[in-house]
Structure 1
Amino acid sequence: MVQNSLPMLKPQRTLSRDLVSLDGLWKFSVAASPNSTAQPWTKPLVTDLECPVPASYNDIFIDRNIRDHVGWVYYQRDVIVPKGWSGEQYFARAESATHEGQIYINDRLVAHHVGGYTPFEADVTDLVKAGEQFRLTIAVNNILTFQTLPPGKVEVSNVTGKRTQTYYHDFYNYAGLARSVWLYSVPTQHIQDITVVTDYEGTTGQIKYNITATKGSGKIQIAVIDESGATVATASGATGTISIPSVQLWQPGAAYLYNFRASIIDSSNKKTLDTYNLATGIRTIAVKDAQFLINDKPFYFTGFGKHEDTNIRGKGHDQAYMVHDFQLLNWIGANSFRTSHYPYTEEMMEFADRKGIVIIDETAAVGLNFDLHTPGERTFGPDLINNQTREAHAQAIRELVHRDKNHASVVMWSIANEPASHAEGAREYFEPLATLTRQLDSSRPVTFINVQTATYKLDKISDLFDVTCLNRYFGWYLTTGDLAEAEVALRTELQGWVDRFPNKPIIMTEYGADTVTGLHSVFSLPWSEEYQVDMLAMYHRVFDEFEAVWGEQVWNFADFQTSVGTGRVDGNKKGVFTRERRPKAAAHELRARWTKLRK
């Protein structure tokens, strides 16, 4: 049984590889009780429910008990291994299972994974023969604890005995199989992993590469192919550096991707045993003299924190929404977004590679700040966020870097959002994680997202990171409705960070105001569209005063669902687009500013 091991490269179809999509309707059931001893994977599910994959299950069914279910659910379908895969190796793969997943082939548990946003897989070659049918069951558990990312706890009512999952992040705890499931094949000797790091000097590009493959007599050959289909460089061997003459760089807003084609060639007959194609953008990233540089040119971030969140589907990946969201990013003049607050689908990362959108790539470490919800409550401690949590956090970083290391669009790793970086125990918790991230990838800067309460006077960990990323809500959560006072507070805060870290660029990764579409006020009062416009304009006025500010990412791109609470009416309304992607007044104001900055 495979447990939280790093999976192979994203499945793809080549002359040597094949894949079968298992997306569609699956049989679906929920566990009868937390103490149930039933083993539903051992036989066909007895249920009249069918659930679409990919999709979160919570909003699919008109059943509050399913929506609020705490614990395991089960997806099941029959799968046939294609006859033509005889002599190949084949795997069952889930791109995610939120937040814990188990894969069963017939009665047998073959993979277990904790962490809701990265892929896991199992080799099923020895369990099912080519041409045979098997029962595939995927169990998914949505329970969060102090040792998971994000953290949470299950509370049991003394009155009804009902179990409720509570958590510390401000977005709904959607669960299920929100991304694709695959059955895929590879040759017995195959490429398992590729790492590329790019550079350039003058007009010559460089790709430093390292390839991991299964043992065999075949030799690795590399070809680099440009967008016209011409081979511009070749190499051999599992590691090396390839030079690309007259290189076309990957640029923000002007993507150019080479096909880095790795093949295994049989030494005896020169036949190709395996091929993998990796879209590769050649570009450099650096932080220098309080600037963020892409290809040695200063880059100013404009864009958003986003969410994977749509009606009915929840976090379910949807190609139509993805394409439309990128169209809106282009329309509004944005050049970037942050994968707040978890890794997004790899399809979205690939799309950003092709469209020249810049990404701050974030782990699911959100909610590591109990003081935000209960003032004075400790976050770090033996029975709270502890060494076991940190190991889960480290594994999440390993899996994120392993999956996304080759994406040109990814320019920085964010290892946490709004942790209690001012609290006792924060440095001991985060210092090893910052070190680990740099060990895994030294080609990108590393950051975390600083919370409002961890001011420049109180924060204990920002010196460990390369870029200062701030979430600030002066005018909303603080000095609510008073933009004059908020402006003074924001200016003071930014100056404090500049004085403390004069050589670090600052990106404002969250700022915004909840806004009800169609609510207007001649007084520009909170919740109105006018107030959102005025608040953003105030922030931009202050940003423009500081040379150290190198980015503005509004919270949020679109309205999104949250847990039920008196401070939330059908979710968080800080989007500049509605959940249905209709623009609020602020969207037009941002477009005017950002399209001018883009020029």
Structure 2
Amino acid sequence: MLKPRPTATRELVNLDGLWRFAVDTRAGERPWTGPLGTRLEAAVPASYNDLFTDPAVRDHVGWVWYQRRVRVPRGWAGERVVLRLDAATHAGRVYIDDSLAAEHVGGYTPFEADITDLVSAGGEFRLTIGVNNELTKETIPPGTITVSPDGRREQKYLHDFYNYAGLARSVWLYSVPPVHVRDVTIVTGLEGGTGTVGYTIETSAAASVRVRALDAEGTEVAAADGASGTLRIEDVTPWRPGAAYLYELVVELLDGDAVVDAYSEPFGVRTVEVRGTEFLINGEPFYFTGFGKHEDTPVRGKGHDNAYLVHDFQLLDWVGANSFRTSHYPYAEEVLEFADRQGIVVIDETAAVGLNLLVQSGLQGAAAQRTFSPENIGDAARAAHGQHIRELVARDKNHPSVVMWSIANEPASNEEGAREYFEPLVELTRKLDPTRPVTYTAVLFATHENDLIADLFDVISVNRYYGWYVATGDLETAEAYLELDLAGWAQKFGKPIMLGEYGADTMAGQHSVWDTPWTEEYQSALLDMHHRVFDKIDAFVGEHVWNFADFQTAHGIHRVDGNKKGVFTRDRRPKAAARTLRERWKTIDGRKPARD
């Protein structure tokens, strides 16, 4: 799905701002049929949960409703009019006046509706959007809903971050000509000093297609006719980690000599490959340094914020990080566009987190259940998971910063049924995009001895918490466990290995001269211990600390005001561990550390 952009033939109106807002129990049976009866207003983009002081809003389970009036620009007569939502977490419905225009399930990818027949140029309409935050055994991520003794619906889920909901990303109204570009796919390669740019253009109707590649100064460097083909850029400047260079593919649809539609897609020329135990970008070994992150800030929740985007990337640069994983869902597309321009490498992940009932059993003391089964995570969940993969690849396939797909976080990959569940999803991912490696992150319970799916993937990524959940406070024992664990994966699979998560909860300002958990000194010492082990493993290709910054989680005794594993606080103040990482990462600078 193309991101809306203003061009010579397209116009774009942003609908962000303050919208009328109500939860379903206060909105009436058919809230889209008239003005929303409420005094509340909610910011878009933002999660709604932390905006209001009423706990009935924060903890609401079910539909909420947003509404505003929208005027179509009068110059859009004869154009197609499209409404786009960048995301609605976790399901959305769009009404134009009284008419249902679009429905979508999946909280982190965009959807849109052609509303041309429902509106008129220069006219005004009532836009009502319903958003549902419910998670079930058939959704990705999964969850269950219970009813308390007093009748309140309560959402339970298996992921360790708060279930923020609402319109956390932008809403747009845009125009396209009747005959227009629907999709652009770009695949790049390198042949010595020449860049190859394979392209495929999908159009709404038959049309003559012309494509031109422009360099960063706007100079045309290649051109061709036809809806598919390959451009060759001589003396190409590749896109590199830390040294981003972007070209622009200009696509024009022609009627004779007249341009009837134009669309531009930025791209970088680079290659990605796994060879033996190496991860290669442009044929050169690449070593990941960085974090698992979250879209999480005070008040906004998961609401996209450009100020935080800029500051977070400044902190990535300051600490020496070259990459991050979009744990545990696709981030706003603006984040990937910024990574493209800044030269930050991204592992792009679906929202498939919580596919592991053993975690629930351990936290709640409940009887163990089989994760992959008809009564739990079954065919319906796998179908939803497949749709998430399709939408992720369709949205992010052209971003040079995205070098690998992660299709799940900490699934029960050691349980019966895991292979039957995941094998078709890996095949689907490779069919959709054969150019990027595929990974997942293995939970602590899954070892090289009992994991059932690791051989299906290109890169072994494991989450390990030795020194925190295992051997807590005993870093000497933790170090021995970690080395034995990673060596086992390396010996068995002969593939690149990285840590997708490692770290320790840390209270900023807590200090001790001993190895005392929760102190800043312990977090630094734990990271140093991990790094000693990493540098001993030949197949090791990357380290992603959990987490970039502290983040909010569900209420409960397991977390006090959220997860504190960040090396930065939630408001982005560094803990001591940030300087520990800076000292290491600025030294190795994306290169694999040499063994002693």
TM-score by length of 1: 0.97
Which residue, out of 295, 304, 324, partners 1:308?
A: 295
Q: CA deviation at 1:37?
A: 7.2
Q: CA deviation at 1:355?
A: 0.3
Q: CA deviation at 1:377?
A: 2.3
Partner deviation per Cα, 1:345-386 (whole Å, 9 max, x = no partner): 000000000000000000000000010120422211111000
The code of the aligned residue for 2:105 comes to: V
After the TM superposition, which residues 121-160 of structure 1 pair with which residues of structure 2 at under 5 Å, given as runs?
A: 121-157=112-148, 159-160=149-150
The code of the aligned residue for 1:199 comes to: G
Q: Which residue of 2 aligns with 1:343?
A: 330
Does 1:162 find its partner at 2:149? no
Distance 1:585 1:150 in 2: 33
Partner deviation per Cα, 1:406-448 (whole Å, 9 max, x = no partner): 0000000000000000011101000000000000000000011
Q: CA deviation at 1:566?
A: 1.2
The code of the aligned residue for 1:148 comes to: T
Distance 1:544 1:275 in 2: 50
Q: Which residue of 2 aligns with 1:4?
A: none
The code of the aligned residue for 2:346 comes to: I
SS of corresponding position for 1:74:
strand
SS of corresponding position for 1:552:
strand
Distance 2:182 2:564 in 1: 43
The code of the aligned residue for 1:434 comes to: V
Distance 1:536 1:373 in 2: 27
SS of corresponding position for 1:493:
helix
Partner deviation per Cα, 1:477-500 (whole Å, 9 max, x = no partner): 111111000000000000110111
Q: Which residue of 2 aligns with 1:563?
A: 554
SS of corresponding position for 2:116:
coil
Q: Which residue of 1 aligns with 2:43?
A: 52
SS of corresponding position for 2:429:
helix
The code of the aligned residue for 1:410 comes to: V
The code of the aligned residue for 2:20 comes to: K
SS of corresponding position for 1:118:
coil
Q: Which residue of 1 aligns with 2:372?
A: 380
Which residue, out of 158, 163, 170, partners 1:180?
A: 170
After the TM superposition, which residues 245-260 of structure 1 pair with which residues of structure 2 at under 5 Å, given as runs?
A: 245-260=234-249
Does 1:392 find its partner at 2:384? yes
The code of the aligned residue for 2:177 comes to: P
Partner deviation per Cα, 1:157-207 (whole Å, 9 max, x = no partner): 1x2122110000000000000000000000111000000000010111000
Does 1:284 find its partner at 2:277? no
The code of the aligned residue for 1:510 comes to: E
The code of the aligned residue for 1:576 comes to: V
The code of the aligned residue for 1:363 comes to: T
Q: Which residue of 1 aligns with 2:593?
A: none
TM-score by length of 2: 0.97
Distance 2:558 2:476 in 1: 24
Which residue, out of 402, 407, 418, partners 2:399?
A: 407
Q: Which residue of 1 aligns with 2:308?
A: 321
State percent identity of aligned pairs.
61
Q: CA deviation at 1:547?
A: 1.2
The code of the aligned residue for 1:420 comes to: A
SS of corresponding position for 1:32:
helix
Q: Which residue of 2 aligns with 1:474?
A: 466
Distance 2:385 2:172 in 1: 26
CA RMSD, 1 decimal:
0.9
Which residue, out of 407, 424, 427, partners 2:416?
A: 424
Distance 1:528 1:37 in 2: 50
Does 1:498 find its partner at 2:490? yes
Distance 2:438 2:311 in 1: 30
Distance 2:28 2:88 in 1: 22
The code of the aligned residue for 2:200 comes to: N
Distance 2:528 2:556 in 1: 29
Q: Which consecutive aligned stretches of 4+ in structure 1 deviate over 3 angstroms post-superposition? A: none
Q: CA deviation at 1:524?
A: 2.4
Does 1:518 find its partner at 2:509? yes
Does 1:201 find its partner at 2:191? yes
The code of the aligned residue for 1:549 comes to: F
Q: Which residue of 1 aligns with 2:584?
A: 593
Which residue, out of 61, 65, 79, partners 1:74?
A: 65
Q: Which residue of 2 aligns with 1:243?
A: 232
The code of the aligned residue for 1:332 comes to: V
Q: CA deviation at 1:265?
A: 1.5
Q: Which residue of 2 aligns with 1:3?
A: none
SS of corresponding position for 1:90:
strand
Which residue, out of 78, 85, 93, partners 1:87?
A: 78
Distance 1:75 1:550 in 2: 45
Which residue, out of 191, 214, 225, partners 2:181?
A: 191
Q: CA deviation at 1:153?
A: 0.5
Structure 1 unpaired stretches of 5+: 1-7
Partner deviation per Cα, 1:269-294 (whole Å, 9 max, x = no partner): x1111111111100000000200000
The code of the aligned residue for 2:542 comes to: G
